[in-house]
Amino acid sequence: MSTPSVTRFLTGITTTGTPHLGNYVGSVRHSVRFSQRADVQSYYFLADYHALIKCDEPARIQRSTLEIAATWLACGLDPERVTFYRQSDIPEIPELTWFLSCVTGKGVLNRAHAYKAAMDRNAEAGNDPDADVTVGLFMYPALMAADILMFNAHKVPVGRDQVQHIEMARDMGNSFNHLYGELFTLPEAEIDDAVALLPGLDGRKMSKSYGNTIPLFTPRAQLQKAIAGLVTDSRAPGEPKDTEGSALFQIYQAFATAEETEAMRRAFAEGIAWGDAKQRLFERIEQEIAPLRERYDALMADPAQIERILRAGAEKARVESRALMARAREAVGLRNLGQQPAATGGKAAKAAAKAAGPSFKQYRERDGQFYFKLQDGRGALLLQSRGFASPQEAGQAIAALQKAPAQSLDALAGQLEAMDASARQAALEALLTLQAQADA
């Protein structure tokens, strides 16, 4: 495959929370800038189906969807330029999820981190392994794979915790391609380690699960109050302060230029009072955030406008998702019955039959005797036995055919239905294939 001149990036944001400064510094700010590059095509969506896995509060889902959409738009995401939509506006996504589920081993999903973590917690607590585990949680990676494969994304910017999901999406796309012909682009995770992990109020990574966040668009007075609550050590004004390990300094650095950061470093060495340092931090954040907050507040005051923007985005996305699902349906055989398939099963089906390989079937007939047959991967008959008195005898004949195909075909000729030379050749090839598979 040739390297595309335009790289397609796709990422989803689960709609369960309120965007905070850490989201802004770690993702939104960078993504918006990145989406403006000429060699980049971006897909951003609100992962509200994923939200249902973690959250059963309808009001919170609605509120979060609105807040996240308004945040991205306020921060400069241009819905004309990128494809910006809401997952639940794309009915082809759950449809594709089902298709992918049917080519994915249950064992693969058993190994997903989120599911395993839930199982481990249950084991620790002495509960049933599946206690409080929904099928939604179990299927999370398949839904995520559908999100990604639907739009043929090349790169998926995610945190390290999501890398396994991208690998699963690759595997699912690969399985489908293998069985039904090339349909999906196989995605890669794009982990940006340069992106700073912003510390929260208590110095640990800013995260909703730690309850140490500063909401991105909290009103000015609240922002000032939140920053006043940042943990510091107890050094008095005039005493030199460490920048190392200082949450205040790290947050400042995430917003400031290199020169500003240097100036703050000097101020620390010269013993700036914590109160003054906090005031400087507040002013620096406010300088960047205030114009965005103004846009955010205007957007939040007009939710109907956001709804219109998302619906327009979904229409744009669905031009692609409808086309892809039409091809996927055709590939698996969910077809217009008025149109006959090109050849028996088509090239893909033949390839799949070959991949599935030949197999023996043993069975009993109404005459009370025991039979076996050899079929190819599509179920076509290659070899048919005559009746045996016991299943053991039939089994022994199968074992002989597997062990020494050519000799046994001759030795057992009397117990097999007559075959012409080309049928015998096909049966022999299948037996040799089976032998090779057993040896592998």
Q: In whole angstroms, how close is the CB of 144 to ligand TRP at the nearest point? A: 4
> Between 144 and 401, whose beta carbon lies closer to ligand TRP?
144
> Between 139 and 148, whose beta carbon lies closer to ligand TRP?
148
Among 73, 96, 100, 156, binds ligand TRP (CB under 6 A): 156
Q: In whole angstroms, how close is the CB of 14 to ligand TRP at the nearest point? A: 4
Nearest 5°: phi and psi at 170? -60, -50
Q: Which of residues 105-144 bind ligand TRP (CB under 6 A)?
A: 144
Q: In whole angstroms, how close is the CB of 139 to ligand TRP at the nearest point? A: 12
Interface segment toward ligand TRP; rule CB under 6 A; list 5-13, 60-68, 274-282, 432-440: 5-13
> Between 48 and 376, whose beta carbon lies closer to ligand TRP?
48
- Binding of residue 14 to ligand TRP (CB under 6 A): yes
- Binding of residue 12 to ligand TRP (CB under 6 A): yes
Q: Which of residues 41-100 bind ligand TRP (CB under 6 A)?
A: 47, 50
- Binding of residue 321 to ligand TRP (CB under 6 A): no
Task: Determine the Cα–Cα distance for residues 318 and 312; give it in Å rounded to an integer.
Answer: 10
Task: Determine the Cα–Cα distance for residues 229 and 62; give it in Å rounded to an integer.
Answer: 30
Q: In whole angstroms, how close is the CB of 146 to ligand TRP at the nearest point? A: 9
Binding-site size for ligand TRP (CB under 6 A) equals 12
Task: Determine the Cα–Cα distance for residues 224 and 218; give it in Å rounded to an integer.
Answer: 10
Q: In whole angstroms, how close is the CB of 122 to ligand TRP at the nearest point? A: 21
Nearest 5°: phi and psi at 92? -70, -20
> Between 109 and 351, whose beta carbon lies closer to ligand TRP?
109
> Between 144 and 172, whose beta carbon lies closer to ligand TRP?
144
Interacting residues with ligand TRP (CB under 6 A): 10-12, 14, 47, 50, 144, 147-148, 156, 158, 162
